Amino acid sequence: MNRNNLVQHLNSSIHRQTNVTCPFCKSQHGTATGLVHHLERGSCPWAPLDKDSLYRAVRQYDPNGVVSKKLLEWNGSSSYSANERAWNPYAEPFECYLCHRLFNTLNGLNQHLNSPVHQQALYHCPNPSCRRDFTTLAATINHLESESCGFMKFRAVQTNVERIVNPNRMLQF
């Protein structure tokens, strides 16, 4: 087992019990990633947020582009939908027309098309020596929690996630 895998395992919910509270509905989440995922997928009944509106809010409070990418133009996430014409008669499953990945069901293909996999990267790692790009804020937070680039310790991510979801603060690390 390599060091990174061990660190990720030790920082998983199996070994780390944290309580990150949603500032809107007060639900408890085991990690900062869980909270941000809760907000991005629009499952918080009290937050006026989804993936796109969260990006707009983060962008507004991150004028220096600490974690959000400075994009010349962005109008929101694209959504795609496939129909029966996505059936590939040679391979016999449904085929994604963007990446050519195969799916057994049309529903599976549409879930894939509506996931962040083909969306524009909106965030990046704040570590100047890493700068990996991510399509969701949850993926960015997960990257920081993993400690894979050494920018921040797991506990610091949990403590500082309030800076990202609290609308009264500017982003900083």
Give me the pLDDT at residue 172, please. 45
Model-level pTM greater than 0.85?
Answer: no
What is the Cα–Cα distance from 118 to 92, expressed in whole angstroms?
23
Give me the pLDDT at residue 10, please. 72
pLDDT tens per residue, range 24-81: 898 988 888 999 989 888 888 988 878 888 888 888 888 899 999 988 777 777 777 8
pLDDT tens per residue, range 140-169: 999 998 888 999 888 888 888 766 666 555
Give me the pLDDT at residue 173, please. 40
Tokens of 61: 């409070």
